[in-house]
């Protein structure tokens, strides 16, 4: 039962007391005074109660009025709220309609799942791409099969867990471009973005997937990849003709930047290699076989050059011309590796019943100009320098010395440590087409271990013999080269030097060498003629310089004894004119003079004289000087004829 108000509890107590007083008064159980007192108290309580009652009535009327007012207000508010709710509902409905119209107008597909993962909405573009409308009963697992979504390039249904819209249900943002929708007769590649939609309590209310047809983009990507692949192939093909390193040395990034005349000068090492007796080898093959044979061989050599930072400048038939812009050691190491690789390759050729290959390699270092030559419509990249020509000549010398690898002194001096190689000096030569002499070296690291050991063992004797030979001490050099050859008869260079010594030592002077004596003093001519004829020399006589010049036109002597002091044309001028004529410039001239001044002797050597004989004549001195210079001239002629 509900508890009564305190105010009404008091009213009940007052009434109960009044009732009791009346009852007591009726039965007179109480004295009158006491009754009156009780009555007075009752009257007071009643007045108080009456006042409270009036107040309650007044409050009740007020509350009733307020309640009525509030009720009327609530009724009015309720009607207003109902009206506003109706308006809001209509506004939401209109907004939804406008949103649907907007989503249908966008050029991308929009697909929405509710919080439980079931399809809620799909715009027209989505239905067009997917090939069907909304299927409300399809859950996330069934979506790939329902809408025929496959992993791009396969026949595998797209994994449900990888779908961006499924990722969105998990609160994740994601995108993929590897989905393909299979419709009858066509496949549509799509790119998909997934986004979660949260309610006010941060709970996922929807998951939205936005996707677009990327057929054109995929086709463009394929075309771009094809173009890039073709461009890369084209660049690679260009590199076969113009190496990338060549462009780098010219400070060019692309072949299209190269212009006729582009060039750069750099200290480099040039390599020339050539197959020996290739003409003889090719005579046994058909044209196609020749091409295959050369290409297979070059295919063995090319990687070696490239791996040692070399640039193949050109192939000249079976020959290779390569340049090493880094250092001489790279060129030497590449050459050694080429020869060692060739040894193994020859074993393969032998098993294939094909002829084995022997090559020669020449290396030279120096300043070279690398650039482009040709015309506007046909140009070529190449290296130009006197050093290039020398390397080519040097390769030719490998045939003479029967050694596969020769380097010049210029290359030798640029090696970081020549002693890391098996190397020995070979010769000092004046290469055909050159005027200066060049020292050349043999590097024999590619020889067999046995040959390397023998050459190392005899290298000291070889170098001593080399110095003696080139000093004209052929008799001293001969036994050294003979000793080396006896120890190792496969040492072809030692054999060459031995043969040369034997040839030179076996040479004899002409039985009647012609000596032209030019002097204006008859007594001097008489004395010299007697000394010379007594020793089997044929003597020609001229009393002045002009007569001597005329005589040598028809009677070329082996040696001339020329007086310095003569009237008219003196000996110095006569000698100058002799040295100016091609057919007389190599005839040794010995001056006859009584002059002892150093200045006169120096002048004589400057105009071309080889020696002096002073007056009065000493028989032994005359014969010794004549024989020495005749011998030197004869040996020089023999040497030049061999070269």
Instruction: Confirm if 394 and 270 have CB atoms less than 8 A apart.
Output: no
- Encode 229-244: b = buried (16+ Cβ within 10 Å), e = exposed: eeeeeeeeeeeeebbb
Whether residue 272 is found in the same domain as residue 367: yes
Angle at 279 between CA 278 and CA 285, to 5 degrees: 90
Question: What does pLDDT average to over the chain?
Answer: 82
Output the domain CATH number for residue 273.
Answer: 3.30.70.1230
Q: What confidence score (pLDDT) does residue 7 get? A: 47
Residue range of the domain that includes 286: 251-393+430-435
Comparing 29 with 61, which gets the higher pLDDT? 61
Among 66-80, 402-416, 565-579, the least confident range: 66-80
pLDDT band for 506, please (50, 70, 90 cuts): low
Whether residue 257 is found in the same domain as residue 376: yes
Whether residue 201 is found in the same domain as residue 269: no
Question: 204: which strand partners?
Answer: 198
Output the domain CATH number for residue 193.
Answer: 3.30.450.20
Distance CA 178, CA 553 (A): 98
Comparing 81 with 206, which gets the higher pLDDT? 206
| C-alpha torsion 407→413→417→420, nearest 10 | 20
Q: What confidence score (pLDDT) does residue 636 get? A: 73
What is the per-residue pLDDT across 426-472, written as a single tens digit (0 to 9) for each? 988 875 556 678 899 999 999 999 999 999 999 999 999 999 888 87
pLDDT band for 35, please (50, 70, 90 cuts): very low
* Domain tally, the chain: 4
What is the per-residue pLDDT across 531-566, written as a single tens digit (0 to 9) for each? 999 988 999 999 999 999 988 877 889 999 999 989
Whether residue 267 is found in the same domain as residue 205: no
How large is the average pLDDT for residues 86-109?
A: 71
Q: Is 521 helix (H, G, I), strand (E, B) or coil?
A: coil
Q: Is the pLDDT assigned to residue 353 strictly greater than 60?
A: yes
Whether residue 34 is found in the same domain as residue 126: no
Q: Is the pLDDT assigned to residue 330 strictly greater than 90?
A: yes
533 in any annotated domain:
yes
Strand order across the beta sheet in which 186-198 lies: 119-122, 109-114, 204-213, 186-198, 174-183, 149-151
């Amino acid at each position: 039962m509900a508890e009564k108000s305190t105010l009404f509890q008091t009213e009940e107590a007052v009434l109960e007391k009044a009732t009791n007083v009346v009852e007591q008064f009726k039965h007179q159980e109480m004295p009158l005074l006491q009754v009156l007192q009780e009555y007075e108290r009752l009257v007071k309580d009643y007045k108080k109660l009456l006042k409270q009652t009036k107040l309650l009535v007044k409050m009740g009327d007020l509350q009733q009025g307020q309640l009525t007012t509030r009720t009327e207000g609530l009724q009015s508010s309720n009607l207003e709220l109902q009206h506003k709710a109706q308006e809001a509902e209509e506004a939401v409905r209109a907004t939804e309609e406008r949103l649907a119209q907007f989503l249908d107008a966008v050029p991308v597909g929009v697909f929405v799942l509710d919080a439980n993962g079931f399809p809620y909405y799909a715009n027209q573009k989505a239905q067009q791409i997917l090939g069907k409308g909304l299927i409300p009963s399809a859950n996330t697992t069934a979506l790939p099969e329902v809408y025929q979504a496959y992993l791009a390039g396969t026949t595998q249904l797209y994994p449900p867990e990888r779908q961006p819209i499924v990722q969105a249900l998990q609160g994740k943002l994601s995108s993929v471009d590897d989905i393909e929708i299979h419709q009858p007769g066509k496949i549509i590649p799509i790119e998909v973005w997934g986004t979660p939609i949260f309610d006010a309590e941060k709970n996922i209310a929807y998951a939205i997937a936005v996707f677009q047809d990327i057929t054109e983009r995929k086709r463009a990507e394929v075309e771009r990849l094809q173009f890039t692949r073709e461009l890369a192939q084209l660049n690679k093909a260009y590199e076969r003709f113009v190496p990338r390193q060549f462009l780098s040395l010219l400070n060019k990034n692309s072949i299209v930047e190269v212009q006729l005349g582009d060039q750069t000068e750099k200290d480099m090492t040039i390599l020339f290699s050539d197959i020996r007796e290739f003409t003889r080898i090719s005579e046994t093959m058909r044209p196609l076989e020749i091409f295959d044979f050369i290409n297979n061989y070059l295919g063995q050599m090319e990687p070696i050059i490239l791996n040692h930072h070399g640039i193949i400048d050109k192939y000249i038939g079976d020959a290779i011309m390569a340049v090493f812009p880094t250092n001489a050691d790279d060129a030497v190491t590449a050459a050694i590796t080429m020869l060692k690789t060739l040894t193994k390759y020859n074993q393969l050729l032998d098993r294939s019943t094909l002829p084995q290959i022997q090559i020669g390699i020449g290396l030279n270092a120096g300043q070279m100009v690398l650039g482009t030559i040709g015309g506007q419509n046909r140009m070529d990249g190449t290296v130009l320098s006197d050093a290039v020509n020398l390397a080519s000549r040097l390769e030719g010398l490998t045939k003479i010395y029967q050694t596969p690898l020769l380097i010049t002194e210029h290359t030798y001096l640029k090696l970081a440590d020549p002693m890391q190689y098996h190397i020995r000096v070979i010769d000092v030569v004046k290469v055909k087409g050159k005027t200066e002499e060049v020292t050349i070296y043999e590097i024999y690291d590619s020889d067999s271990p046995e040959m390397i050991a023998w050459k190392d063992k005899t290298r000291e004797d070889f170098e001593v013999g080399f110095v003696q030979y080139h000093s004209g001490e052929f008799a001293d050099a001969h036994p050294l080269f003979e000793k080396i050859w006896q120890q190792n008869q496969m040492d072809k260079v030692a054999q060459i030097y031995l043969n040369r010594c034997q040839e030179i030592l076996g040479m004899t002077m002409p039985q009647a060498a012609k000596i032209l004596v030019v002097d204006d003093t008859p007594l001097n001519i008489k004395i010299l003629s007697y000394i010379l004829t007594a020793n089997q020399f044929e003597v020609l006589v001229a009393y002045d310089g002009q007569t001597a010049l005329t005589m040598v036109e028809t009677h070329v002597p082996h040696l001339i004894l020329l007086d310095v002091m003569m009237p008219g044309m003196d000996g110095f001028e006569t000698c100058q004119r002799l040295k100016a004529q091609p057919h007389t410039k190599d005839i040794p001239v010995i001056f006859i003079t009584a002059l002892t001044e150093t200045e006169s002797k120096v002048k004589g050597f400057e105009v071309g004289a080889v020696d002096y004989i002073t007056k009065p004549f000493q028989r032994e001195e005359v014969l010794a000087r004549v024989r020495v210079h005749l011998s030197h001239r004869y040996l020089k002629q023999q040497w030049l004829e061999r070269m």
